[in-house]
Structure formats: structure tokens, C-alpha cells
Amino acid sequence: MRRILFVALLALGLGTLTEVSGNHLPEAGLNLNERFFDEVRELIKRRMEAKQLPLAGDELALQNQRSYDNVPIPAASVPVPVLVENWPTDQHSFGQVTAVSVDPEGNPVIFHRADRYWDVNTFNESNIYYLIEYGPIKEKTIYVLDPKTGAIKTGWGSDMFYMPHGMTIDAHGNYWITDVAMHQAFKFRPFESKPQLVIGKRFRPGASVKQLCKPTSIAVATTGEFFIADGYCNSRILKFNAAGKLLRSIPQPPEFLSLQVPHAITLLEHLDLLCIADRENMRVVCPKAGLKSSHGEGQPAATIQEPDLGRVFGVSGYGDIVFAVNGPTSMLPVRGFTIDPRSETIIGHWGEFKNPHSIAVSVNGSALYVTETGTNHQTNRVWKYVLA
């Protein structure tokens, strides 16, 4: 009963009662317990009465927006990914392809590890990269592909990265990259070796506001604000302004959102949502991004968690929907998902994979790409889908 009332308090937005549960309530006898429950009932009563009051101004606008947000997407308007057979036309010898993005010209761009592999010997217990002495990867780690044939058009990124992970290309063609070995996130102009912006301290993992620890992914808004999934160790999202000043951390009080390895992130700017591949919690969660206003920040996140979803590795937003891929999870099929955050449901399944790691949709919605990581060039690959 105590737990039920505590959950009710959280659901009603009354919860500033921290560390109150069946194991933490005072053990001072029936009188104190009765007084506690009386106070709970009074709080619930006041909250329910407040819900009946007419709303005005920003509160009314916010409620109207919530009503709009909950409208499900008509099935007829949902694009369906269809595999493009025999793409690429020629086989590539990539290393583990950890990320894919699409540049403003519609070219798919991949980020790979060449001859590097992440295994149990890559980091110590303090998340320090063991192989610093080997230096950065000598080979080009970024390749721009032809969208029609998959042939390599150009490449760059040699002698720059140690353990590639995430890559996002923004509307201006800037490359946003994470390296889990260096514990850093970077912003580059195309084909430049010197970053415009660096977040985190080189090879120094940490949880302070100036450090990262194995960051996984970056999402960039048209406003210039950007989000970093600080990923494997800290399980948090950091929001920055365009100049790299930290604005907030997600989650933060009063948000009741616990992340376990936020592996990829994407923005649905129209809905002001940041959708997170919350990998080890086996779900996609979409808190308010706070790009339009700060009113929605801290609200309960839209949550998509269904039995067949499994560990989510990649997410990519398109319009009001999210495309996602899961990874090996027990006996579940490894495949793609189409998700409607407004109704908090999976509205489509597609594809068949072995070990997908990332996903990206072109800006005009003409194509979708999925990358896989494996142990050889045949399993390290890129798939192309068209959206029909």
C-alpha cells in the first residue's frame, strides 16, 4: 500500500518526497503512519481539485500542444523501408562501421574503425583506453559514398581517431563525431583535420560538466543547439548552445528518467522531442528537447517499450516518426522498427540484420541506411532502403 501511494504521488506530480518507499518510511508506530497517509490523501485531494481549475495563458497552450502530440499518425501516411538489392554494387573492405549519416547533397557517409576492434582488452576498469601507444588509426575513417551505386566518392579522417563511434552531419555539412577512446566529441568542417569545437578532455574520462566518458552520439538542431549522448559510463544527455556552452543535463530533477547506455539520439524538432535509444533499458524514450521553450522540460518522457523491441542501438527521426534498429537480444528478431512517439507505439517492422549499430534517413526522405559491425569486411557493411 505504501508503494502504491508513493507511485500515485509521482504520477500526480507531487513527488518531492525522496527516498520514500516501503523500505524507507519512518518506523515510529501507527500514529506516524496514519498521519503520513492522511497527508498523502490531502495532497491528492488538493491536486485533483487543482486539475479542475481553468487553465490560462502558457498552461492552456501547453495542454493544447499535449493534445496534439498524442494524435496517432495515420497508417497510410507512414513510409515503409524497402531494401535496395545489390547495393553497394561493389564490395568494400570496411572495418566495423559504427555510424552512418547523410550529407546535405544526399550522399551517405560512413564512419568505421578500420583495423581496430572494441573488446574486453580495449579499456581498463577506469575506462582508460589501453592502446594509446598505437596512435590514431592510420587509414581514412570517413568515406562519402555514391547514393546510387554505393561506390566510394572520397574519404578523410586518417591519423585522427582512435575508436570511432558516432557521427552526425548537420544541415550545413558540418561533421559531429564521437570517439569513445578519446572520451571526446568534435565538430569538424568537411575534410578538415582541425576541429572547430571539442567537448571533453582527451583520454581523460569523467563525470564532471567538462568531461565525457565514452560518448556515443550527437544530435544537432537547426537552432545550432546540440545534444551529446554521454553514453556508456555516465548515461546522460548533455545539451549545449551553438558555442558549446552547457545548458542542461538530462535527466535532472524533477525528471524521473533513468537511462542505461543512451546509445544513439535523434531530434524531432517539429514535436520538440529528443528521442533516445536507451539501449540497456530496451526502449526508446523521448523527453522534451526544450528548443521551442523551456515549459516542457522535465515533463514525463514519451516511452516506447514493447516485448519485441529488445536492446535499441540506433534511432533516426523523419518527420514525426522514428526509425530504429535493435541488436542481438536473447531470442528476439534483429530488425528495424517504425515508431510513433506521439502514441508511444511501434507501428511497423522491417528488415533483417545480424548486428546493426546505426541508422540514418536522408533529409528528403528518399533513402534510409543501416550499418552493421562484425568481424570481417563481409559483416561490416551498409544497407540501403528506399522509403515507399
The dihedral formed by the CA atoms of 280, 283, 288 and 289, expressed in degrees to the nearest 10 = 60
Rounded to whole angstroms, the Cα distance separating 48 from 56 reads 17
Burial 42-58 (b: 16+ CB within 10 A, else e): ebeeeeeeeeeeeeeee
Alpha-carbon gap, residue 315 to 118, rounded angstroms: 21
CA 82 to chain CA mean position, Å: 24
Instruction: Compute CA 47 distance to the chain's CA centroid, rounded to the nearest angstrom.
Output: 34
Helix (H, G, I), strand (E, B) or coil at 86: coil
Edge-to-edge strands, sheet with 108-112: 97-102, 108-112, 142-145, 152-156
113 is in an annotated binding site: yes
Residue 100 among known ligand-binding residues:
yes
Residue 344 φ/ψ region, left for φ over 0, alpha for ψ in the -120 to 50 degree band, beta for the rest: left
Give the angle 202-227-310 at the CA atoms, nearest 5°: 100
Closest CA to 322 of 295, 303, 307: 303
Residue reference for cell 496514519: 34
Q: Is 270 annotated as a binding-site member?
A: no
The pairing of beta strand 152-156 with beta strand 164-169: unpaired
Which residue type is seen at 287? P
**CA pair distance 83, 350, nearest whole angstrom:** 9
Backbone angles phi, psi at 67, to 5 degrees: -60, -45
User: Which residues are documented as binding site for Zn(2+)?
Assistant: 165, 263, 357
Binding-site residues for Ca(2+): 100
Q: Which residues are annotated as a binding site for a protein?
A: 113, 232, 279
Known binding-site positions: 100, 113, 165, 232, 263, 279, 357
